[in-house]
Amino acid sequence: MYAPHIHNLVFGVSLWSCLLLSTGAFAADVAKSPHGPDDEMGVLNTLTAAQSLAVLQRVSSGKVYDLSVEYFVGMPGLADLGMGDPPYHIWMTHTPSGIKVEKLSPAGGPPDLALYDDAITMSTHSGTHFDSLNHIGYGDKIFNGFEATRYLGNKGWTKAGADKIPPLITRGVLLDVPATKGVTMLPDAYEITTADIQQTLDKQGVNLQPGDAVLIRTGRMTVWPDAKQFVPNEPGITRESAAWLIDHGAVVLGADTMGVEKFPMAKDSVHAYAFAERGVPLLELTWLEELAKDKVYEFAFIAAPLKLRGATGAPARPLALPLRAEKPAAPQALGQ
């Protein structure tokens, strides 16, 4: 059931791509989901419990790699783009001294109970986070044709939000592009090509499979959290290389950058393409340094964003567990 759907989507897009190239003009439209008019999950519909099981059974040692950065005041983020998004902020709502002054009565407890509470404000695109399919569309529509006029409230979309991204337990693949290129960090605005990706897969001895979460390392985290170095002109994939990855099975496109794609965005934006044309979410600001250092190129990828209803993105703390080498027969089993 899985491949045909993807192929339909791929073929449609490929045809469209040809037209685009032949005319030189840009004219895209949102895709109709192969999973029905109510679908809000896109390609993540194709993941199966059997696939999750197969990956977990290959976990080698139980060692867990934490792919999330910390959230802290001053961390680089959307606020650094100058479009008015609020930066990450945390503050104390209760401390014992404040509670005493305010004569609050927490609900019981011993006299010397010391209660501390805090609260946060942040862009939903802060730190390690998923981009939902409703983050970017074309014109008035997002993926599967949902229109802003019908589904966009002041408290977020009622369609295709972060709450619709299911828990993901699938194979993850690291693409350590700077290692392939022999550099610490890819240069600013570097376009990661399909050739770069193929070369990296070859070097790493990994093939892509349907259902993979592909995490692309650019080395950008080596300058984290220096916003001046980190934020402007990120290196990243292009529409062409994104298409290649999705065509070869990627269901999540992740990176160690804020935007996954090369910035400034090209006319044929990877964001819009992945969400609106392919139904593929992005995963941004992942911490891939330990995986890269230990040359862990395939792993069980376990991730689930906070279920912020309707949100265009949501933080997550993705985990990676190295896998044993796959037995030859395994891939066939996945599609069953």
129 to 148, contacts with a second copy by CB under 8 A? 134-142, 148
Instruction: Scan residues 236-295 and list those touching a second copy (CB under 8 A).
Output: 259, 263-269, 271-272
Task: Provide φ and ψ at 32, rounded to 5°.
Answer: -85, 130
Q: Which amino acid is at 227?
A: A
Note whether 120 binds a second copy by CB under 8 A: yes
Q: What region does 65 belong to: left with phi over 0, alpha with psi -120 to 50, or beta?
A: beta
Site string for a second copy, 7-46 (x = CB under 8 A): -------------------x-x------------------
- Helices 239-247 & 2-23, crossing angle to 10 degrees? 160
Residue 11 or 116 having the CB closest to a second copy: 116
227 Cβ contact list (under 8 Å, min separation 6): 76, 80
Place of tokens 């093939």: 207
Instruction: Restricting to residues 161-180, name those near a second copy by CB under 8 A.
Output: 163, 166-167, 169
- Contacts with a second copy by CB under 8 A: the residue count is 120
Nearest to 257 by CA among 213, 288, 214, 292: 288
Stretch that binds a second copy, among 2-10, 32-40, 195-203, 302-310 (CB under 8 A): 302-310
How near is the Cβ of 203 to a second copy at its closest, in Å?
28
Candidate residues 19, 115, 183, 333; the one interacting with a second copy per rule CB under 8 A: 115
Omega into 232 within 30° of 0, i.e. cis? no
Footprint (CB under 8 A) of a second copy, residues 69-108: 69-74, 78-79, 81-87, 89-99, 101-102, 104, 106-108
C-alpha to C-alpha distance for 142 and 279, rounded to whole angstroms: 10
Q: Based on the shown chain and the rule CB under 8 A, indicate whether residue 113 belongs to the binding site for a second copy.
A: yes
Which of 154, 182, 205, 329 binds a second copy (CB under 8 A)? It is 154
Nearer Cβ to a second copy (157/244): 157
Q: CB of 164: closest distance to a second copy in angstroms?
A: 10
How many whole angstroms separate alpha carbon 123 and alpha carbon 147? Answer: 23
Q: Is 2 near a second copy (CB under 8 A)?
A: no
How many angstroms separate the CA atoms of 301 and 79, rounded?
A: 29
Least separation in angstroms between residue 332's CB and a second copy is 17
**Subset of residues 197 to 226 that bind a second copy, contact rule: CB under 8 A:** none
Cβ-based nearer residue to a second copy, 18 or 56: 56
Is residue 216 within 8 A of residue 172, CB to CB? The reply is no
CB 129 within 8 A of CB 304: no
CB of 127 to a second copy, least distance (A): 7
Least Å from the CB of residue 249 to a second copy: 18
For residue 166, the surrounding DSSP H or E stretch is: none
Q: In this structure, which amino acid lies at residue 270?
A: V
